[in-house]
Amino acid sequence: MRTLITGGAGYIGSHVARLLGDRGDAVVVVDDLSTGFTDRLGGARLVRLDLASDTAPSILGDVLREERIDAVLHLAARKQVHESVQRPAWYYSQNVGSLANLLLAMESASVSKLVFSSSAAVYGAVEGDSVAESATTRPVNPYGRTKLIGEQLIDDAAFGSGLSAVSLRYFNVGGAGWADLADRAVLNLVPMVFQRLDAGLPPVIFGDDYPTPDGTCVRDYVHVLDLADAHIAALDHLAAGATGHEVFNVGTGEGTSVRAMVDEILTVAGSTLTPEVHPRRPGDPARVVASAALIAEKLGWRAERGLEEIVRSAWEAHLTGTPGV
Ligand SMILES: NC(=O)c1ccc[n+]([C@@H]2O[C@H](COP(=O)([O-])OP(=O)(O)OC[C@H]3O[C@@H](n4cnc5c(N)ncnc54)[C@H](O)[C@@H]3O)[C@@H](O)[C@H]2O)c1
């Protein structure tokens, strides 16, 4: 299989690229390096391109033809919720515009298999113990809306132009499969706690008065290597002849409270600091946990790595001193 990965210089895309390379698949990466790093690429060819630019469809169409690409994994996106609130038009042009350009290029090169990075952010405020793919989607910020519109655009392309696609709605991603591919952004809970510990400061928990067992928010953490495996399962599903557009949650189905996660980090880091509790942040739902039944049934994928492995692998990568980790 010859695969093109957009966002392959990023945290998750580089894990997917390395797993595909390890099994002998040819991989080409398209990335503008806005938040990606070339040292994550290994031997993969990089085409440096802003997918949202006017020239992207024709450049990308040429790459798809020259490289005889069979399938595209589209991970490139802007993903900062706060920034999406401040610059909504730019987020739409980046995330929705890039996808539209990619679909134009795929159509022109007759490439019809796509795996799309979506997000649990499409659900918005969720109710119940776990959220299934059939739940109402009511994203609460522009970032989540760009992902939902992306899914809708793919629905239309699957209906109108014969695209075969899988969208993966990631829950909370963490860990590192290889130290050099670690998450270098400080946007998620684990890197944020590491940053506090580095500064000799106690970790911060936002709100301990939620209606959850220990009062802190509950999330579903999935190891980045398990997530990368889910992309390969999706790709193989398309290669086996799946048609239309299917949407799957990628989570473990297990909830972990913020306090339990912070405690695990303190244990792994050997720290005796006591977390500080600050007031709730606006917009944080109490509990967001995936129903992971559909992806197990249809793709045979299940998360294999637990919380300890997520934290330990992230901490070990942090200790190797990868820039920004
Ligand atoms: N990390 C998470 O917790 C999480 C959760 C849900 C969904 N996602 C989604 O997963 C995908 C990958 O996220 P990540 O955590 O690896 O982020 P990342 O920032 O590390 O990777 C994104 C990559 O896309 C590239 N990129 C961004 N805009 C581009 C553009 N216009 N043209 C070309 N390249 C561009 C960046 O340079 C970067 O290499 C994103 O689509 C994100 O929305 C991530």
Tell if the pTM clears 0.85, that is, is over it: yes
Convert the pLDDT of each residue in 197-249 to its tens digit. Answer: 999 999 999 999 999 999 999 999 999 999 999 999 999 999 999 999 999 99
Which atom of ligand 1 approaches the CA of 35 most closely?
37
Average pLDDT of the chain is 96
- pLDDT category of residue 283 using cuts at 50, 70 and 90: confident
Q: Is 151 in the pocket of ligand 1 (CB under 6 A)?
A: no
Centre of ligand 1 from the C-alpha of residue 34, in Å: 9
Q: Is 102 in the pocket of ligand 1 (CB under 6 A)?
A: no
Best CA proximity match to 116, nearest among 17, 28, 235, 229 = 235
Domains of the chain: 2-173+221-250 (3.40.50.720), 175-220+253-319 (3.90.25.10)
How many CA atoms lie within 13 Å of 134's alpha carbon, on the beta-carbon side?
2
pLDDT of residue 145: 97
Provide the percentage of residues in the chain whose pLDDT is more than 90: 93
pLDDT surpassing 70 at residue 28: yes
pLDDT of residue 126: 86
How many CA atoms lie within 13 Å of 263's alpha carbon, on the beta-carbon side?
7
Residue nearest to atom 28 of ligand 1 (CA): 77
Which atom of ligand 1 approaches the CA of 170 most closely?
6
Say if residues 91 and 142 touch (Cβ distance below 8 Å). yes
pLDDT surpassing 80 at residue 10: yes
- pLDDT category of residue 43 using cuts at 50, 70 and 90: confident
pLDDT of residue 323: 55
Centre of ligand 1 from the C-alpha of residue 110, in Å: 25
Q: Rounded mean pLDDT of 276-291?
A: 92
Say if residues 79 and 220 touch (Cβ distance below 8 Å). no
Dihedral sign of CA atoms 83, 87, 89, 90 in order = negative
Say if residues 310 and 186 touch (Cβ distance below 8 Å). no
pLDDT surpassing 60 at residue 30: yes
Which atom of ligand 1 approaches the CA of 98 most closely?
31
pLDDT surpassing 70 at residue 164: yes
- pLDDT category of residue 33 using cuts at 50, 70 and 90: very high
Beta strands in 181-230, from DSSP E residues, in sequence order: 204-206, 218-219, 221-223
Return the structure tokens found at 269.
Answer: 């880091």
Centre of ligand 1 from the C-alpha of residue 212, in Å: 31
pLDDT surpassing 80 at residue 63: yes
Q: Is 38 in the pocket of ligand 1 (CB under 6 A)?
A: no
* Angle, CA of 181, 186 and 188, to the nearest 5°: 90
Say if residues 258 and 284 touch (Cβ distance below 8 Å). no
Dihedral sign of CA atoms 124, 128, 131, 134 in order = negative
Beta bridge partners of 218: 257, 287
Which atom of ligand 1 approaches the CA of 50 most closely?
32
Return the structure tokens found at 166.
Answer: 């899988």
Say if residues 202 and 145 touch (Cβ distance below 8 Å). no
Q: Pick the more confident residue, 148 or 187.
A: 148
pLDDT of residue 308: 96
pLDDT surpassing 70 at residue 325: no
Q: Is 173 in the pocket of ligand 1 (CB under 6 A)?
A: yes
Residue nearest to atom 26 of ligand 1 (CA): 76
Q: Is 146 in the pocket of ligand 1 (CB under 6 A)?
A: no
pLDDT of residue 105: 98
Say if residues 174 and 224 touch (Cβ distance below 8 Å). yes
pLDDT of residue 127: 83
pLDDT of residue 282: 82
Centre of ligand 1 from the C-alpha of residue 234, in Å: 18
Convert the pLDDT of each residue in 101-117 to its tens digit. Answer: 999 999 999 999 999 99
- pLDDT category of residue 322 using cuts at 50, 70 and 90: low
Q: Rounded mean pLDDT of 145-156?
A: 98
Say if residues 230 and 298 touch (Cβ distance below 8 Å). no
Q: Is 51 in the pocket of ligand 1 (CB under 6 A)?
A: yes
Return the structure tokens found at 133.
Answer: 């793919």
Amino acid letter for position 26? A
How many CB atoms neighbour CB 76 within 10 A? 29
Beta bridge partners of 184: none
Catalytic residue list: 143
Return the structure tokens found at 147.
Answer: 């992902």
Ligand 1, residues 14, 15, 31: which to mutate, most atoms within 8 A of Cβ?
A: 31
Beta bridge partners of 45: 28
CA–CA dist 191, 196 (Å, integer): 9
Q: Rounded mean pLDDT of 21-30?
A: 96
DSSP state for residue 236 in the 8-state scheme: H
pLDDT surpassing 70 at residue 289: yes
Q: Is 228 in the pocket of ligand 1 (CB under 6 A)?
A: no
Q: Is 137 in the pocket of ligand 1 (CB under 6 A)?
A: no
Among the residue ranges 44-53, 179-188, 214-223, the one predicted with the least confidence is: 179-188
Provide the percentage of residues in the chain whose pLDDT is more than 70: 98
Return the structure tokens found at 268.
Answer: 């792994």
